[in-house]
Amino acid sequence: MCELLGMSANVPTDICFSFTGLIQRGGKTGPHRDGWGITFYEGKGFRTFKDPKPGYQSAIAQLVQNYPIKSKAVVSHIRQANRGHVNLENTHPFTRELWGRFWTFAHNGQLTGFEDLDTENHRPVGQTDSEQAFCWLLKKLDDVYPLPPANMKDVYRYIASCCDQLKEMGVFNMLLTDGEYVMSYCTNHLYWITRQAPFGKATLIDEDVEVNFQEETSPEDIVTVIATQPLTANEAWTRMKPGEYNVFHCGELIESNAALLKDVPFAEAKPGC
């Protein structure tokens, strides 16, 4: 399976520490050697770095680890291919415009029958189930909200109901952002943690790196990180339940269905995405 990494923060924050942990799994401590990508929002604009090569060998990934780009919303992905060839058009995240905003999407899992998802004029460019699901989500949003909506909480609730449909087709772990909000949806593997004062130290699982967040932050900072597997060994990550969605804004959880869901056993993911 692939791995996801997302961030929501109340001040522009760099994600070098977490990305350094994730990218080791791109062929070194993990089997995700079929490309990687990361999208940073800065205001309404974004920039994406991506490479169909293994992350741990990539000169571009090296730059992203060492060059702190500060952002309030980030989505990243490392790929172990299953549906679609290993090439740039199949490398996550995917970004498209809707309502004068750029939406960025990354997916972990596999969907059966994805070819039947009707995307109308939101046409996929590559061959993955993931991009087709993203285009279908945009089409559903376009149908229900032909004009830019005012109430974004309603929009994210509607997206969650669409994700419930996608979950019926297989494994659908997802990160989605419009640069303002960051949404996570879980079928089986997604964890999150919110860091705020008092900040402590954290140690990466995948690389011999420790960070003292107290030295890197100011007391008002709130930063949430979402990942397929916990990235640090000495912090308490919250595991999401099957069918759970969370919406973060400026680092804080503002919308979730977690309280409504029962604790049920997790189905194991099949490899690939």
Report the catalytic residues. Answer: 2
| Burial call 142-166: b when 16+ CB within 10 Å, e when fewer | eeebeeeeeebeebbebbbebbeeb
Tell me 123's DSSP state: -
Query: Which residue blocks in the chain are alpha helix, DSSP H?
Result: 16-24, 59-66, 129-144, 152-167, 213-216
Does position 42 interact with a second copy (CB under 8 A)? The reply is yes
By the rule CB under 8 A, 102 interacts with a second copy: yes
Pick from 47, 153, 201, 270: which binds a second copy (CB under 8 A)?
47
**What are the backbone dihedrals phi and psi of residue 139, each rounded to the nearest 5 degrees, phi first?**
-65, -45
Judged by beta carbon, residue 79 or residue 195, the one nearer a second copy is 79
Task: Tell me whether residue 182 or residue 190 sits nearer to a second copy (CB atom).
Answer: 182
Residue in this structure with the two tokens 């741990």, named with its chain if needed: 56
What are the backbone dihedrals phi and psi of residue 135, each rounded to the nearest 5 degrees, phi first?
A: -65, -40
| Cα 273 from Cα 81, distance rounded (Å) | 5
CA distance 61 to 23: 8
Query: In whole angstroms, what is the distance from residue 42 CA to residue 262 CA?
Result: 37
Based on the shown chain and the rule CB under 8 A, indicate whether residue 116 belongs to the binding site for a second copy.
no
Candidates 11, 29, 57, 101; binder of a second copy (CB under 8 A) is: 101
Measured distance CA(54)–CA(61) in Å, rounded: 9
Stretch that binds a second copy, among 22-30, 117-125, 212-220, 243-251 (CB under 8 A): 117-125
Identified binder of a second copy from the candidate list 25, 32, 33, 50, rule CB under 8 A? 50
- Choice from 123, 153, 201, 270 touching a second copy (CB under 8 A): 123
Measured CA to CA, the distance from residue 79 to residue 126 in angstroms comes to 14
* Coil/strand/helix, residue 10: strand
Stretch that binds a second copy, among 118-126, 184-192, 197-205, 223-231 (CB under 8 A): 118-126
Query: Among 29, 31, 83, 126, which residue interacts with a second copy (rule: CB under 8 A)?
Result: 126
Distance of alpha carbon 190 from its chain centroid, rounded? 10
Per the CB < 8 A criterion, the answer to whether 232 and 202 are in contact is: yes
45 binds a second copy (CB under 8 A): yes
56 binds a second copy (CB under 8 A): no
The yes or no reply on residue 125 touching a second copy (CB under 8 A) is: yes
> Could you say which of 87, 161, 212, 234 contacts a second copy (CB under 8 A)?
87
Regarding 83 and contact with a second copy (CB under 8 A), the answer is no
**Considering beta carbons, is residue 76 or 90 the nearer one to a second copy?**
90
Residue 250 identity? C
For residues 152 and 261, which CB has a smaller minimum distance to a second copy in the complex? Answer: 152
The answer to the question of residue 221 lying near a second copy (CB under 8 A) is no
**Could you say whether residue 232 binds a second copy (CB under 8 A)?**
no
Which parts of this chain interact with a second copy (CB under 8 A)?
42-52, 59-60, 63, 67, 87-91, 96-97, 99-102, 121-126, 142, 146, 148
